[in-house]
Amino acid sequence: MMESTHSLKLIEGEFMPHEANDILCDLISSKIRHHSLKILSIQENSDGDVSHSEKRIEDLKSVNNSLKKIINYANREGLLLNIESSINIELVEEKVKAPSK
């Protein structure tokens, strides 16, 4: 049986500002796309609640703006960015079964 919790290192190292921008902004853009598609899917298939995804998009855009300020500063000052990022995953039992199609 697999352990129920996992911690995985996603990003680790020193990056030039343009590299950090590529890596981090691509990650955030991917998350924004995910939530945008989720909103479209919910709106097309039902009258479900999209507030969580809308809030996450707002939060991610704010994070993206903060990152751009940091990256622009590092670029102007000729600095590298030391970035470490891990993800924590916990396996949990499904509480509600998805309807079969």
Domain segments of the chain as ranges: 5-88
| d(C-alpha 48, C-alpha 64), whole Å | 27
| d(C-alpha 50, C-alpha 19), whole Å | 33
Whole-prediction pTM: 0.81
| d(C-alpha 15, C-alpha 29), whole Å | 19
State the pLDDT at residue 46: 85
Read off the pLDDT of residues 50-91 as tens digits, 9 standing for 90 and up. 999 999 999 999 999 999 999 999 999 999 999 999 999 999
The three-class DSSP label of residue 21 is helix
State the pLDDT at residue 101: 53
pLDDT band at 5 (very low <50, low <70, confident <90, very high): very high
Cβ–Cβ < 8 Å for 2, 91: yes
